[in-house]
């Protein structure tokens, strides 16, 4: 098994050009080798970059402060997982400053796309610039900010549609199943693709009968929404509990399923003060990727999830 240091050195040998930090790397690297053939052009559809805070300061209104996670560490991760492409999503700690995401995309080159966070003050010229750099969607991070009011959620979703409907962009939502239910009519009528993060934040231990999950499945079945079958939070003792959720979504419509690591696995609900440094979760992404053949036994379906669907949505 490769050590973390060996993986980082391998990333440099493969062409990563960023400077490796000495003794400061914190983001997890896979401990379990991938056990199946990953198709060429596979994409990790959900990652974050946490840059050097001296260069990329965090948003004063953040609810947590993560450890850094740099492009060369991501390169090592994807070398081990056989992921050619990546989607980098601006995390909540930066507010509407997408500089760290753009930095990560530039380091990765043509195999990267981005999802930005904006507000009413973000000018169209900035959207134009980000679009040229490879950004192709905006994210509403309702969960991390604790937004559970359906009225607020609906307003923000409608506002997001207005900002991107003239572009070939999508709207990504990090929210809970109650908000999925509260906004399902808007999603069904959306002029742009809608993507739900992390199984719609369904609770795996509650299974497919939990309130709101059927609404998520129906939106996927109708083709009105994509869903990322990415596991958020820290390591799980009961990964098998995700099997019914994943299989229900995949069976509903394999053309609307995306996969992602959620690397570097930030801990946004540690209970620490927002300005206190919060360690990243140590998640074995090799083990998690090896769940995919259990969720999707057919090789053709896995190719849709890992290659074809991301290529279509993110215009690779």
Tens of pLDDT, residue by residue over 210-239, are 999 999 999 999 999 999 999 988 898 789
State the virtual CA torsion across 114, 146, 264, 250 in degrees, nearest 10.
Answer: -70
Which pLDDT value is given to residue 3? 41
Tokens of 296: 């999707």
State the Rg of the chain over Cα. Answer: 18
Q: How many CA atoms lie within 13 A of 84 on its CB side?
A: 12
Lookup result for tokens 């596991």: 231
Give the model's confidence band at 2: pLDDT under 50 very low, under 70 low, under 90 confident, else very high.
Answer: very low
Which pLDDT value is given to residue 57? 97
Between vectors from CA 286 to CA 141 and to CA 315, what angle results, nearest 5°?
Answer: 50
pLDDT at 5 over 70: no
Which among 133, 193, 195, 196 has a CA at the least distance from the CA of 168?
193
Which pLDDT value is given to residue 8? 38
Which pLDDT value is given to residue 269? 84
| Average pLDDT of the residues in 104-120 | 97
Lookup result for tokens 């059927």: 214
Which pLDDT value is given to residue 238? 82
Say which residue, 22 or 307, is predicted with more confidence.
307
Longest dimension (CA), the chain: 51
Q: Residue 141 phi/psi, 5° resolution?
A: -95, 80
Lookup result for tokens 């195999």: 111
Q: At what angle do helices 213-221 and 177-188 cross, to 10 degrees?
A: 30
From residue 187, give the alpha-carbon distance in Å to each of 154, 182, 226, 240.
10, 10, 11, 30
Interacting residues of 8 by C-beta distance below 8 A, sequence separation 6+: 20, 25, 29, 72, 73, 76
pTM: 0.90
Tens-digit pLDDT profile for residues 138-178: 999 887 776 789 999 999 999 999 999 999 999 999 999 99
Which pLDDT value is given to residue 207? 97
Tens-digit pLDDT profile for residues 247-291: 999 999 999 999 999 999 999 888 899 999 999 999 999 999 999
Which pLDDT value is given to residue 14? 35
Average per-residue pLDDT in the chain?
91
pLDDT at 30 over 60: yes
Which pLDDT value is given to residue 6? 38
């Amino acid at each position: 098994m490769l050590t973390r240091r060996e993986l980082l050195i391998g990333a440099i040998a493969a062409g990563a050009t960023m400077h490796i930090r000495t003794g400061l790397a914190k983001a997890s690297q896979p401990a379990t080798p991938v056990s199946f053939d990953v198709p060429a052009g596979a994409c990790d559809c959900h990652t974050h970059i946490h840059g050097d805070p001296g260069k990329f300061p965090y948003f004063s209104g953040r609810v947590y402060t993560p450890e850094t996670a740099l492009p060369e560490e991501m390169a090592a991760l994807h070398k081990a997982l056989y992921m050619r492409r990546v989607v980098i999503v601006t995390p909540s700690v930066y507010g509407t400053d997408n500089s760290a995401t753009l930095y990560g995309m530039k380091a990765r080159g043509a195999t990267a796309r981005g999802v930005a966070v904006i507000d009413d003050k973000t000018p169209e010229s900035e959207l134009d610039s980000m679009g040229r750099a490879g950004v192709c969607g905006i994210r509403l991070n309702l969960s991390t900010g604790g937004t559970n009011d359906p009225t607020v959620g609906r307003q923000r979703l409608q506002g997001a549609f207005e900002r991107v409907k003239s572009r070939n962009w999508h709207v990504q939502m990090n929210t809970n199943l109650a908000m999925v239910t509260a906004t399902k009519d808007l999603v069904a009528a959306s002029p742009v693709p809608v993507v739900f993060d992390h199984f719609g934040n369904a609770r795996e231990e509650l299974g497919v009968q939990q309130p709101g999950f059927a609404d998520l499945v129906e939106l996927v079945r109708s083709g009105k929404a994509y869903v990322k079958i990415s596991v958020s939070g820290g390591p799980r003792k009961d990964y098998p509990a995700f099997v019914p959720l994943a299989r229900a979504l995949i069976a509903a419509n394999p053309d609307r399923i995306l996969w992602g690591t959620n690397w570097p696995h930030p801990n946004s609900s540690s209970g620490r003060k927002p300005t206190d440094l919060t360690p990243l979760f140590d998640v074995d992404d090799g083990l998690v990727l090896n769940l995919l053949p259990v969720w999707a036994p057919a090789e053709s379906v896995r190719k849709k999830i890992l290659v074809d669907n991301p290529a279509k949505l993110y215009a690779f």
